[in-house]
């Protein structure tokens, strides 16, 4: 039972990781590599740092949960 919950939670983390990877790529595409930022759009810079870091952490967590015996 615990293994099923752990695998389910790992899948959820992997899906969040995939979403953040997609959203990071979208952010860089929409802002043309962060060169075309609207006035007051400083959140794009934060997102360009935080989204990949969260994707790495969530991907690592998913990998650990799915790999554990």
Instruction: Give the model confidence (pLDDT) of 11-37 as tens digits.
Output: 999 999 999 999 999 999 988 888 877
**Domain containing 30: what range?**
2-67
**pLDDT band for position 68 (50/70/90)?**
confident
Q: What is the pLDDT of residue 45?
A: 87
**pLDDT band for position 39 (50/70/90)?**
confident
CB 6 within 8 A of CB 65: yes
Q: What is the pLDDT of residue 69?
A: 65
Single pTM value for the model:
0.85
> How many domains, the chain?
1
Q: How far is CA 63 from CA 19, 36, 67, in A?
A: 16, 35, 6
């Amino acid at each position: 039972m615990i293994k099923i919950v752990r695998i389910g939670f790992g899948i959820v983390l992997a899906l969040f990781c995939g979403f953040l990877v997609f959203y990071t790529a979208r952010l860089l595409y929409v802002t043309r590599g962060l060169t075309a930022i609207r006035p007051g759009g400083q959140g794009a810079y934060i997102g360009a740092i935080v989204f990949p870091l969260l994707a790495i952490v969530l991907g690592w967590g998913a990998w650990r949960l799915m790999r554990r015996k």
